Structure 1
Amino acid sequence: MNLCEVCGLFFNSDLESEHLTSAHHNMCFVNAFVEIESAAECRLVTLLAKNPNEIHTAEEYMESLRQNVCYYLSHYLTVHACVKYNLVLECYYYKSTDDNAQLKNFKTPNVPVFRLSNLNDQYSADIVKILSEMDEIETRGSGWVLAKISHLQLRINRYEPLRGATAYRRFQLPRFIKNKRCLVNPYRYDPAKEALGSCCATMCFKFSILGQVLRDNNINVHNITNYFKHKRLNDKYVWDCVQYPVALDDIQKFETINNMTISVYTADETARTIVPLKVSTNRSESDHRDILYYEGHYSWIKNFNILVSGQVIRRSGRCKHFFCRTCFQHFYQSALLTAHEKSCRNYKPTIVVPSKDTFLQFKNFNRSLKIPFVIYADIGYKLTPIPTCSPDPKTTYTHTSGIYRPTRCSYRVVSTTGQWREKQFDNIPSFVRSLELETMYIRSIYKQNVPMDNVPAGKPLLGVDICHICETQLKDIHYALDHDHVTGKVRGFVHRTCNLNYRLPRFVPIVVRDLSKINSAPLMEHFLKTGGVRVIPYKEKVGQFISLTRRIGEDGFSMRFVDMSKFIEPGDDYQLTVAKFERIRHICVERLKLDPLYYLSLGSYSWDCMLRYTGVQLQVIRDVDMLLMLKSGIRGGFVSCVRKHALANVNGIDPSKPPTSIHFFDVIGLYSSVMKDRLMPYGGFEWAHDFHVSDIFSHHEPGVNYIVEVDINYPENVRRDHSDLPLCPHHDEQLGLIASFRPREKYVVHLDVVRYAISKGLEVTRVHRAIKFKESNWLVGYVELNGTLRNENPQFSGFFKDLNNFLYGKSIERLGNRVNVRILRSDPRTLMKLVRLPTFYDRTILNSETYIVMNRRQRIKVTQPIYLGMAILDLSKLFMSHLFYDVLKPRLPRFELLYTDTDSLCIEVFTNNADEVIKEMGDVFHHDKSTAGPIGKLKNLTADSPILEFVGFRSKVYAYRCSENMVMKNIPPTAKFVFHDGFPYDDLKFNKHFRRTMGTSVYDLSVNRTIPTVAKTSDRKRILCSDNNHTLPLV
């Protein structure tokens, strides 16, 4: 007899299939999911499964729901035949610097499934995707740590695949491809052969497959009768495996059965381009077809290069192009295309549009004009309790204890002239209506164009010959006099082109505290009733928006709701927060020459400030192969838990054991230090075709460096010395970023890192490719400016610190993750059209009649210099390796590494005078606690209170004890350790405490009471030794 873990019944092994299909078994595990919302007549359905069994690991929790997910997918496949679904795992995360938990979610892509699909294999792929995303958020230096797994959402969407025409009709190709003669469409309308014409209309997919076979046998592909009379050629494929007319998603089944590959494209008449619908990543060299799907018909593409040739600008003297079928990049040699496709097949099919600009430089000089009118809004709430049953105190639980309702709304209008006024309301409709009236009044002021006062007679009277907008030399004739259109004050002489672009904004910024977290909910609820709102949603969050824009009037003037928390952390006193933000605006406009309120986030603002202050021209990479190579070299912050437990022996605690001490060091401004002290790339990017292993140390041209793709081996003779911190961390598909002794193949990295690795004993066996570039210290001035502003304004130190930290993240921004948003109301036809597209990303149900649909952008214009972010990340890891091996090891007594996290090190020193040695290392450590300290130096985080005991579980989960109190870092802060003799984490006990968190469900705000549990303690990134304490790298 076997025990079923799902329903608790015993069954015979030979009756397992009958038991799994029994009503009792299905009822037990189906109850795990509850339908929480639906829309568009159940075309969109969301199911939710909570985590009542206190499962701490995401992998174990999702495995426990495998049967549930497969059951519901099978059920809805009987209703809709085809569905698209995705999973959303929501977890509570916290930061050690903040006791408030935040709900974060991890999504899988929307994938189509059919009645014959293997649901178990697809669900396994979904688990891998979610686990990799969870690992990424913990290792990219964000500081977030998993506290509790909340629930899993299963979002099911009805899917109506593209299907061929069911009856004959005259087929017309788009005009822009009609005369290219690169398609084969054999059937022709003949009134005398009506039956044949109708038959051919449903068999167009078959014709598109057989066209190439007929051509290879020198048979006329345009004669329709040839497709029927050559039975030998027809028998080459199994045709009855799909239903005619063939749906787009049935093609994959046809490919599998007939051992071939098919790529499908369609025509966008508006953009006059060809776009991919389905692209085979592993294209068969022996049997492949490219097919055009247009207006319900399939046509064989006999020459793909001619079909898409109109989408590029031809060079004089060159007329033949070879196009990549995934990204549409073109080459002039077939060998170059073959080499490109090897790397391009690993990425999603997206048309990469080369930028017309050769360099990226600052252009938004109009944003140096301080916005004359700004509205600061605040929304107050009243907590309405919800009667609920008392949960079981013995289990982990989350339940809604109340709903927040807006009760007080107020705003303050602030002007550059010093005038301001305030108003208060008790409901959202009156509040929004008053904001609209304020916006219309401000628009009328902008339209007045007050004449200038005290007009000077000529340029010499001002005594300047510099344009005050772009700060460049004025020409003798092309200049104008600029003045403030609101006050009439003369500002100075400017270039005419600068004067034309130096305009008042076409919007009024309305700054709202916590817009993206809670305050967008009541506003969105009101706008959905009245209509006319554009949103920028959080792609990974449900019902939360970065910005809301509402158009006022017919001239395009609008009011734009901006989230204050994207710039500063709002305080409890909103009046003081407004004053603080206005002071920051004043400093930014005066010193950085840009107003932050033109931007939606601090990262975008810092990027433009850097471009303006440095005046740098960053080269735009137009070579797609070079872009893909640079992208593969981007690796986030490295985190590793090397030891599980360490007990310090200080002040003679145990005289029988040698003295030891534990220290936690942190690098002050790691990324800022790298940007200041190292040379950064900016241009001159080209392929170095003759770069070999022997050239690694021979190329030392000043101002020139390389990014290389190499194979690296870790020799046996250096593994013992590098066991704590192996060099050159690399990505693993299952584990994320790890530092192991495994070989690195096609490892893309900065050449300085390769040189350092070789100096430490690693072997480079091959150089596959190399990119040559120019570098200089062009970032030094901007980094030093923010450091100066931070020292001058200590109350705003966090703001100016983030201006430096956000730079590298902005340079490697994932433009492919941006989405197009459509808000639909009772429009199922458009909904099904958007869900049908291969770019469909996700949807959000607002109510039974209103929903938001998000589709990925199919055309990406890459302008970001990702080489800058890659260089900063690589050189920061080099900084930490140099610090560990070349600074601390030679100068400190014997020590072992316990834990490392991007810019911090926790070590155990085996000596009795470690503090004295650290104090003597003034060139490495910063000991003055009254100042933030110079960037690049180490700070001892526990200098006042020595660490007595350290406990490490895995990446981002550790704790240490100082004196009699436990200082918890990156462990659920409501958990309290009780230490006993022996190995500690066998005896950890947790006292549960309530924590309140704010939850947002589209436009309902609630307060949740959560009891967190300890995060998962298993660590798969290193091998645990037999003493259950030390670990070793993977091999």
Structure 2
Amino acid sequence: MPYCTVCRSSIDRKKWIGHLRSTLHKNIAAISVCDGVEMINSAFKSRIATYRITATSEFEQNSVDNFFDSIRAKIKDLFDKCLQLHTCIKVNIELFSLFLMFKNDCQEIKSFGTKNQILYLNYDFDSKYLNLVNEVKKKIEEFQERDSGWTFLSNSHLEININKYQPLRGASYINLPKFIKNKKACLNIENNDPYCFLWSVVAALFPAQKHPERVSSYPDFRKVFNIEGMSFPVGFSDITIFEKNNPTIAVVVYGLKDGKTISGPLYRSETLTGKTVIHLLYIENDKTSHYCLIKNLTRLVRSQITKHHQKLHICESCLLFFSTPEQANTHLCSGVATEIPKEGSFLQFKNYERKQNMPFVIYADLETMLVKYEGCENDPNIASTSTLQRHVPIAFAYQIVCTLDDSYDKFVSYRGVDCIARFIECLNRDVRKIHKVLKKTIVFVIIAISPGNIAVQHIPIVIYSLNNLCSFP
């Protein structure tokens, strides 16, 4: 049985995870870090740590917005101290709030967490904090709106998980895998220094006519770029600094997954419009890592997209691919167009008859099998499409559902090579039967009226005139 050294008690193995997340365990483990901030868990010499800020006043407890506004300065101070210690960190938060279920008068603590955010020394606190807060608020709104029955009562506390993060860094030369070399889509600079990132960017802006793999074929990057504030080898935080120092350049970095698949983007500039976009490939081995220039992104990734040989056009912003440049230039990129209605306009529903339930509904489904084509081979000298298989129907089934009388419900199924002909035959037969049923006239007759009660009976008869409605034989 596991033993908790913090609580000094033995815990059932099945309850161990729950015990570590319990308020009792956290209260015992809590260590005050600064005013209003406690460390409730740490590991690996505080490279992984969890902090807690409790909602103490009624002002903080009654509103999520009030709570986050009041602890804003505490969280910024905590982030800054951790960044001074670790240089780069991953952060996520989890809000614990009390909710009420009205139907059984039950109260429970619910938690709402966020995804990790990566923070560097030059991070923008306002934008990062706003993203975290909005993600928590969105999850709370979704939880209350999905018919859960829970209603927010008060805030309990906020937990901040902070982990030391070691970002990817490109250093000295690494030979490209053979399958990438054969595509001739990348330029790999043979540098013996930690500046492979800068040499690759220089190569993109100043293409060499001879020996493009040599650093001597390019101008000195120190005379071309502003690299103030950057550290080497270059990590993603340094790319952000590089883009701020050189605002006309935008960088997109891709990776290599399992040594055979281009993945990413691992890093993408926030703004690509109006800038010179440079695509880089990040590769690594057991000893070092390396950036190289992607000269032709389409050629590099086309084998992952399609086996056809026609030219593709990839949008640098959203990475969607198109068969023609017109489609690539005119598509709706990185978003959805929203058409705002005119002021004073309103929506109106007028097809009221479509709100009525259909008396009969038929649900049908077909099953097919794949059959290979046997034909001649394509001409290897021209581009062509090969049709390898075709779908052959082998079975069908349908269910007739009557919303007025269950006795008309019916299930039909059949399996065989002639299933399409049989499907049409059976469906035609049943539809004719349904048509005869729907031709029957049904008159609703009020047979009894009393205060607060009206009894109605429907009788299948020939329609009488309104004058004779109450005097049936």
Same fold flag (TM > 0.5):
yes
Q: 1:917 to 1:276 in 2, by over 3 A?
A: farther
Aligned residue for 1:98, secondary structure, equals: coil
Q: Which residue is equivalent to 1:177?
A: 180
Picking from 110, 118, 126, the partner of 1:120 is 126
Tell me, yes or no, if the aligned pair for 2:250 and 2:275 is still in contact at 8 Å.
no
Q: What is the alpha-carbon distance in structure 1 between the residues aligned to residue 142 and residue 199 of structure 2?
A: 47
Which residue identity lines up with residue 198 of structure 1 in the other structure?
A: N
Q: Greater relative contact order: 1 or 2 (C-alpha under 8 angstroms, separation 6 or more)?
A: 1
Query: Does 2:282 match 1:293?
Result: yes
Q: 1:300 to 1:95 in 2, by over 3 A?
A: same
Q: Which residues of 2 match residues 671-820 of structure 1 at below 5 A? A: 711-716=339-344, 727=347, 756=348, 778=363
Q: Which residues of 2 match residues 425-824 of structure 1 at below 5 A? A: 711-716=339-344, 727=347, 756=348, 778=363
Q: CA deviation at 1:90?
A: 1.5
Q: What is the alpha-carbon distance in structure 1 between the residues aligned to residue 323 and residue 40 of structure 2?
A: 55
Q: CA deviation at 1:267?
A: 0.6
Tell me, yes or no, if the aligned pair for 1:29 and 1:67 is still in contact at 8 Å.
no
Q: Which residues of 2 match residues 325-344 of structure 1 at below 5 A? A: 329-340=320-331, 342-343=333-334
For residues 234-286 of structure 1, give each alpha carbon's deviation from its aligned partner in whole angstroms, at most 9, with x where no partner exists. Answer: 54421233112111222112112211211111111355343321123532343
For residues 626-679 of structure 1, give each alpha carbon's deviation from its aligned partner in whole angstroms, at most 9, with x where no partner exists. Answer: xxx7xxxxxxxxxxxxxxxxxxxxxxxxxxxxxxxxxxxxxxxxxxxxxxxxxx
Tell me, yes or no, if the aligned pair for 1:279 and 1:326 is still in contact at 8 Å.
no
Q: CA deviation at 1:76?
A: 1.1
Q: Which residue is equivalent to 1:69?
A: 75
Q: CA deviation at 1:135?
A: 2.1
Q: What is the alpha-carbon distance in structure 2 between the residues aligned to residue 212 and residue 236 of structure 1?
A: 12
For residues 558-615 of structure 1, give each alpha carbon's deviation from its aligned partner in whole angstroms, at most 9, with x where no partner exists. Answer: xxxxxxxxxxxxxxxxxxxxxxxxxxxxxxxxxxxxxxxxxxxxxxxxxxxxxxxxxx
Query: Does 2:298 match 1:305?
Result: yes
Picking from 140, 159, 164, the partner of 2:165 is 159
Which residue identity lines up with residue 264 of structure 1 in the other structure?
A: V
Q: What is the alpha-carbon distance in structure 2 between the residues aligned to residue 237 and residue 101 of structure 1?
A: 60
Q: Which residue is equivalent to 1:34?
A: 38
For residues 335-378 of structure 1, give each alpha carbon's deviation from its aligned partner in whole angstroms, at most 9, with x where no partner exists. Answer: 323445613xx5xxxxxxxxxxxxxxxxxxxxxxxxxxxxxxxx
Q: 1:142 to 1:334 in 2, by over 3 A?
A: farther
Q: What is the alpha-carbon distance in structure 2 between the residues aligned to residue 81 and residue 235 of structure 1?
A: 28
Aligned length: 336
Aligned residue for 1:292, secondary structure, equals: strand
Q: What is the alpha-carbon distance in structure 1 between the residues aligned to residue 401 and residue 329 of structure 2?
A: 46
Which residue identity lines up with residue 78 of structure 2 in the other structure?
A: Y
Q: Which residues of 2 match residues 99-138 of structure 1 at below 5 A? A: 99-138=105-144
Which residue identity lines up with residue 214 of structure 1 in the other structure?
A: F
Aligned residue for 2:133, secondary structure, equals: helix
For residues 173-193 of structure 1, give each alpha carbon's deviation from its aligned partner in whole angstroms, at most 9, with x where no partner exists. Answer: 123312111111122xxxxxx
Q: What is the alpha-carbon distance in structure 2 between the residues aligned to residue 787 and residue 41 of structure 1?
A: 70
Aligned residue for 1:320, secondary structure, equals: coil
Q: What is the alpha-carbon distance in structure 2 between the residues aligned to residue 328 and residue 266 of structure 1?
A: 15
Q: What is the alpha-carbon distance in structure 1 between the residues aligned to residue 258 and residue 205 of structure 2?
A: 30
Which residue identity lines up with residue 255 of structure 2 in the other structure?
A: T
Query: Does 2:227 match 1:198?
Result: no
Q: CA deviation at 1:81?
A: 1.1
Q: CA deviation at 1:205?
A: 0.6
Tell me, yes or no, if the aligned pair for 1:77 and 1:115 is still in contact at 8 Å.
yes
Q: Which residue is equivalent to 1:186?
A: 189
Q: What is the alpha-carbon distance in structure 2 between the residues aligned to residue 714 and residue 279 of structure 1?
A: 37
Q: What is the alpha-carbon distance in structure 1 between the residues aligned to residue 168 and residue 319 of structure 2?
A: 23
Q: 1:61 to 1:255 in 2, by over 3 A?
A: same
Q: CA deviation at 1:327?
A: 6.6
Q: TM-score, normalised by structure 2?
A: 0.62
Which residue identity lines up with residue 183 of structure 1 in the other structure?
A: C
Q: What is the alpha-carbon distance in structure 1 between the residues aligned to residue 331 and residue 133 of structure 2?
A: 30
Q: Which residue is equivalent to 1:951?
A: none
Which residue identity lines up with residue 327 of structure 2 in the other structure?
A: L
Query: Does 2:53 match 1:53?
Result: no
Picking from 265, 280, 288, the partner of 2:254 is 265
Q: What is the alpha-carbon distance in structure 2 between the residues aligned to residue 120 and residue 132 of structure 1?
A: 18
Q: CA deviation at 1:58?
A: 0.4
Structure showing greater Rg: 2
Tell me, yes or no, if the aligned pair for 2:33 and 2:39 is still in contact at 8 Å.
no
Q: Percent identity?
A: 24
Q: CA deviation at 1:715?
A: 4.3
Which residue identity lines up with residue 46 of structure 1 in the other structure?
A: T
Which residue identity lines up with residue 108 of structure 2 in the other structure?
A: Q
Aligned residue for 1:157, secondary structure, equals: strand
Tell me, yes or no, if the aligned pair for 1:274 and 1:308 is still in contact at 8 Å.
no
Q: CA deviation at 1:325?
A: 5.2
Q: 1:29 to 1:785 in 2, by over 3 A?
A: farther
Q: What is the alpha-carbon distance in structure 1 between the residues aligned to residue 405 and residue 137 of structure 2?
A: 41
Aligned residue for 1:711, secondary structure, equals: coil
Q: 1:117 to 1:275 in 2, by over 3 A?
A: closer
Structure 1 residue runs of 5 or longer lacking an equivalent are: 1-27, 188-196, 347-628, 630-708, 719-725, 728-755, 761-775, 790-915, 923-1035
Tell me, yes or no, if the aligned pair for 2:92 and 2:116 is still in contact at 8 Å.
yes
Q: What is the alpha-carbon distance in structure 1 between the residues aligned to residue 273 and residue 39 of structure 2?
A: 43
RMSD: 3.8
Tell me, yes or no, if the aligned pair for 1:89 and 1:106 is still in contact at 8 Å.
yes
